[in-house]
């Protein structure tokens, strides 16, 4: 039997249809909003139960190009590997729905979301989560909580809930929240940089034209948002999110299928073993906790397990060894959390707000354009920057785009197994790597003013013990400065954590891997000393209050300020790779000089390009000059040459007439004649046939460059002057 429902929530109309299509799935939902149509399905394996303490959930968000009336580009005319947007959307849905499943749920579960139709204004990430949650809620799986998403944007300083894609193009803030009717589960946030018209003395080069010192120019601003402003937006958005989920549950509850009984994994701790470990080996547990690296800690706990088995021979059985491992892990987790909550001390001895030691080395790779080796505790990122031009941008096309887009700022994150002591081969880019690179890109992009350049940052994680994505943000910023790229502010990132039991909680700054694994929150915040540029939060305990969130934000601000001070000190000691680093200089001149810089038929500018090996772009309207070259020497030489032209005394223009006779200088000899510079700098052509009364076979036999000769104006051909020998 088919069920249809219509909902209008937060500027968005949604029509759901259940049990009409994909009826063999455990749950399905057909969602229509505007001209967008999405099908979400949920299927579980009812027989197989995965024994590991991990939820075997897979989410796939799939876009069909026919949904927007397109045929896939390239050689293969069918959809192939997922795009970055599809992968990131799959991660968002996974992270939002994973907390709903009960502990011990070990049945492999597949959630598939397919976009069958898409209009140019629909927010497909919001619709994808809402459809997947509706399919899961109304399925025969015993899950009775609705999760939905809401997006908030600041458009013209006004808060807009669930904005259209057109409105998002004007937004300065993008906030994506997911949660239930009671709790906030996940946050994705970013800000956008913008161009602001200002009066600036810094952009104009007074050496070129002192009269332009107050010229109106565009400057780049980062739009980092202060913590207090963000909290107010959270309050408004969270209220709308909670209200929407109540409406979803009230509407969908009568449509739920009959629940199927499923076996949960019997994950019961052997209390006898746990008591033994706690009474006789708590010091061994504490010593293992102090082994900060994941590989070292795992080795210490494995050796402890072998030690106990040698003492308790009756436990020397495969099944009992697994129970002993669980008992040791349980004691370890309890001890980690107790130290933090009761003693306010962490496993490595740090205070709750203390950041691990940081070292920064820039341009450690002599033949790369720029690089930074950023080390914080036992987390180390080598971030390498490469500069290019507009043609080096990454081309992409999303489902709702009308044309191909270009991405000229890229951040790629790689996490090899050796960084955590694992013997695993380096394979293709995983979802986690793509997500971490995207977070670092969102953090840094608002502060970068590329002005037509293309920049690629690659973060190679060499060692990891907590928050390698935030090391990528810090190292990425330093690599930008090591390439002498203009930024609007100093950006750093810090990972926050939390441990809570009952009414007690503790917020941790700069969490390490142990605290991430045994804690209740993973909260990454990036920004300047004044505000936040990007944020990502996942809650493991079912939700977080705004009071706790506010405390975490301000503690993160203190941590960022500490890191930024260290980065600023390192920035003052940067030595550029001048031999290999491409250089760019942008300045303004009086537009009336542009003709002289270009020269007749582009002669002057071509000579500069060839001599200094640079590219020169000139905006004829506002006099903006951009010089790009392989090194600073060529760029500065070209700039100085333009400076010479602009500051040279202006020759008074002469009104030439046919028949006039003037003294000139031979500037260039060609096969068909010679170009002669007239008194005011204007060039004319003395054709080979006009050089002498006799036939001339070779111009250079008669004239030489630099020679002074007397010429007559014969005729004007458009802007060209034809000369004869006097």
Q: What is the pLDDT of residue 188?
A: 95
Q: What is the pLDDT of residue 1?
A: 67
Reported as a single tens digit per residue, the pLDDT across 193-238 is: 765 544 333 333 333 333 333 333 445 566 789 999 999 999 999 9
The average pLDDT across 369-398 equals: 92
Separation of alpha carbons 49 and 332, rounded Å: 26
The average pLDDT across 523-527 equals: 95
Separation of alpha carbons 42 and 54, rounded Å: 18
Q: pTM of this prediction?
A: 0.82
Q: How far is CA 365 from the centre of its chain?
A: 23
Looking at the predicted structure, is the pLDDT value of residue 701 above 60?
A: yes
Exposed / middle / buried, residue 49 (Cβ in 10 Å: 0-12, 13-18, 19+) = middle
DSSP string, 675-689: EEE-TTS-EEEEEGG
> Quick one: tokens of 712?
């007559």
CB atoms within 10 A of CB 330: 17
Residue bearing the bigger pLDDT, 456 or 405? 456
Going across the sheet that includes 370-376, the strands are 358-362, 370-376, 379-388, 454-463, 409-414
Which fold, 3-181+222-255? Ribosomal Protein S5; domain 2 (3.30.230)
- Residue 380's H or E segment, with its range, is strand 379-388
The average pLDDT across 332-350 equals: 88
Q: What is the pLDDT of residue 114?
A: 98
Separation of alpha carbons 224 and 446, rounded Å: 8
CB atoms within 10 A of CB 528: 21
Q: What is the pLDDT of residue 292?
A: 62
Would you tell me which CATH number, out of the four given (3.30.1370.10, 3.40.50.920, 3.90.1410.10, 3.10.180.10), belongs to the domain 583-647?
3.30.1370.10
Rounded to the nearest 5°, which phi and psi values hold at 721?
A: -115, 130
Per-residue b/e over 412-437, b at no fewer than 16 CB within 10 Å? bbbbbeebbeeeeeeeeeeeebbbbb
Share of the chain above pLDDT 70, in %: 93
Residue bearing the bigger pLDDT, 642 or 403? 642
Domain parsing of the chain, residue ranges:
3-181+222-255, 271-343, 358-571, 583-647, 661-725
The average pLDDT across 132-151 equals: 95
Q: What is the pLDDT of residue 201?
A: 33
Separation of alpha carbons 150 and 134, rounded Å: 15
Q: What is the pLDDT of residue 219?
A: 53
pLDDT band at 242 (very low <50, low <70, confident <90, very high): very high
Reported as a single tens digit per residue, the pLDDT across 272-302 is: 888 888 888 888 888 887 776 667 777 888 8
Q: What is the pLDDT of residue 652?
A: 65
For all residues of the chain together, what is the average pLDDT? Answer: 87
Q: Mean pLDDT check: name the lowest of 21-25, 376-380, 681-685.
A: 681-685
Among residues 723, 572, 583, which one has the least CA distance to residue 662? 723
Looking at the predicted structure, is the pLDDT value of residue 529 above 60?
A: yes
Where are the alpha helices (H) located in 339-421, listed in sequence order?
none
Among residues 623, 598, 593, which one has the least CA distance to residue 608? 598
Reported as a single tens digit per residue, the pLDDT across 81-105 is: 899 999 999 999 999 999 898 888 8
Does the CA dihedral 208-210-215-218 come out positive or negative? positive
Query: Could you tell me if 41 and 93 are in contact, meaning their C-beta atoms sit under 8 angstroms apart?
Result: no
Rounded to the nearest 5°, which phi and psi values hold at 43?
A: -135, 135
The average pLDDT across 26-45 equals: 96
Q: What is the pLDDT of residue 222?
A: 64
Looking at the predicted structure, is the pLDDT value of residue 411 above 80?
A: yes
CATH class of the structural domain 661-725: mainly beta
The average pLDDT across 690-694 equals: 83
Would you say the CATH fold of 358-571 matches that of 3-181+222-255? yes
375: left (phi over 0), alpha (psi -120 to 50) or beta: beta
Which fold, 358-571? Ribosomal Protein S5; domain 2 (3.30.230)
Q: What is the pLDDT of residue 542?
A: 61
């Amino acid at each position: 039997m088919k069920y249809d429902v219509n909902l209008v929530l937060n500027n968005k109309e949604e029509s759901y249809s259940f049990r009409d299509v994909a009826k063999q799935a455990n749950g399905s939902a057909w969602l229509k909003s505007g001209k967008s149509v999405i099908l979400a399905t949920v299927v579980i394996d009812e027989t197989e139960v995965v024994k590991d303490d991990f939820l075997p959930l897979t989410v796939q968000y799939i876009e069909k190009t026919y949904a927007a009336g397109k045929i896939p580009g390239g050689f293969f005319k069918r959809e192939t590997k997922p795009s970055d947007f599809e992968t990131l959307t799959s991660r968002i849905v996974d992270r939002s729905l994973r907390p709903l499943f009960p502990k011990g749920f070990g049945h492999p579960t597949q959630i598939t979301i397919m976009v069958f139709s898409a209009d140019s204004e629909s927010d497909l990430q919001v619709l994808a989560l809402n459809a997947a949650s509706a399919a899961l809620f109304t399925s025969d799986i015993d899950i009775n909580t609705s999760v939905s998403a809401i997006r908030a944007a600041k458009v013209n300083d006004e808060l807009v809930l669930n904005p259209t894609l057109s409105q998002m193009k004007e937004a300065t803030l993008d906030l994506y929240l997911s949660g239930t009717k009671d709790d906030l589960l996940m946050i994705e946030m970013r800000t956008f940089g913008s161009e602001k018209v200002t009066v600036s003395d810094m952009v104009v080069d007074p050496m070129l034209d002192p009269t332009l010192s107050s010229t109106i120019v565009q400057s780049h601003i980062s739009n980092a948002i202060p913590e207090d402003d963000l909290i107010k937006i959270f309050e408004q958005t969270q209220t709308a999110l909670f209200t929407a989920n109540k409406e979803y549950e009230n509407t969908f509850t009568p449509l739920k299928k009959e629940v199927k009984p499923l076996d949960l994994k019997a994950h019961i701790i052997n209390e006898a073993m746990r008591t033994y470990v706690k009474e006789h080996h708590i010091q061994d547990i504490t010593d293992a906790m102090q082994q900060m690296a994941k590989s070292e800690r795992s080795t210490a706990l494995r050796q402890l397990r072998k030690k106990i088995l040698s003492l308790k021979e009756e436990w020397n059985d495969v099944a009992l060894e697994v129970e002993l491992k669980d008992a040791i892990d349980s004691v370890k987790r309890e001890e980690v959390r107790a130290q933090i909550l009761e003693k306010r001390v962490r496993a490595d001895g740090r205070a709750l707000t203390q950041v691990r030691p940081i070292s920064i080395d820039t341009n450690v790779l002599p033949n790369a354009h720029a690089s930074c080796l950023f080390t914080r505790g036992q987390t180390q990122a080598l971030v390498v920057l490469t500069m290019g031009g507009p043609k080096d941008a990454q081309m992409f096309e999303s489902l709702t785009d009308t044309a191909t887009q270009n991405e000229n700022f890229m951040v790629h994150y790689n996490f090899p197994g050796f960084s955590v002591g694992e013997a695993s081969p380096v394979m293709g880019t995983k979802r986690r790597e793509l997500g971490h690179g995207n977070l670092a890109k969102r953090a840094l992009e608002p502060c970068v003013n590329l002005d037509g350049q293309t920049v690629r940052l690659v973060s190679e994680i060499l060692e990891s013990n907590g928050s390698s994505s935030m090391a990528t943000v810090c190292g990425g910023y330093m690599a930008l400065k090591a390439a002498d790229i203009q930024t609007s502010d100093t950006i750093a990132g810090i990972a926050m954590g939390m441990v809570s039991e009952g009414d007690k909680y503790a917020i941790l700054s700069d969490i390490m891997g142990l605290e991430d694994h045994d804690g209740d929150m993973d909260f990454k915040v990036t920004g300047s000393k004044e505000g936040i540029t990007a944020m990502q939060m996942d809650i493991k305990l079912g939700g977080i209050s705004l009071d706790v969130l506010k405390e975490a934000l301000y503690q993160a601000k203190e941590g960022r300020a500490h890191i930024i001070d260290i980065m600023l000190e390192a920035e003052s000691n940067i030595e550029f790779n001048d031999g290999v680093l491409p250089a760019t200089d942008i300045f303004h001149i009086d537009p009336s000089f542009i003709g002289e810089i270009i020269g007749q038929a582009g002669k002057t500018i071509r000579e500069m390009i060839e001599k200094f090996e640079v590219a020169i772009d000139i905006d004829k309207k506002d006099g903006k000059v951009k010089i790009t070259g392989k090194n600073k020497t060529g760029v500065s030489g070209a700039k100085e040459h333009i400076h010479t032209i602009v500051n040279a005394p202006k020759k008074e223009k002469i009104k030439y007439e046919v028949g006039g006779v003037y003294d000139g200088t031979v500037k260039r000899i060609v096969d068909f004649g010679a170009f002669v510079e007239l008194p005011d700098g204007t060039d004319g052509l003395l054709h080979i046939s006009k050089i002498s009364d006799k036939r001339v076979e070779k111009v250079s036999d008669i004239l030489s460059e630099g020679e002074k000769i007397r010429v007559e104006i014969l005729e004007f051909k458009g802007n060209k002057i034809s000369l004869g020998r006097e």
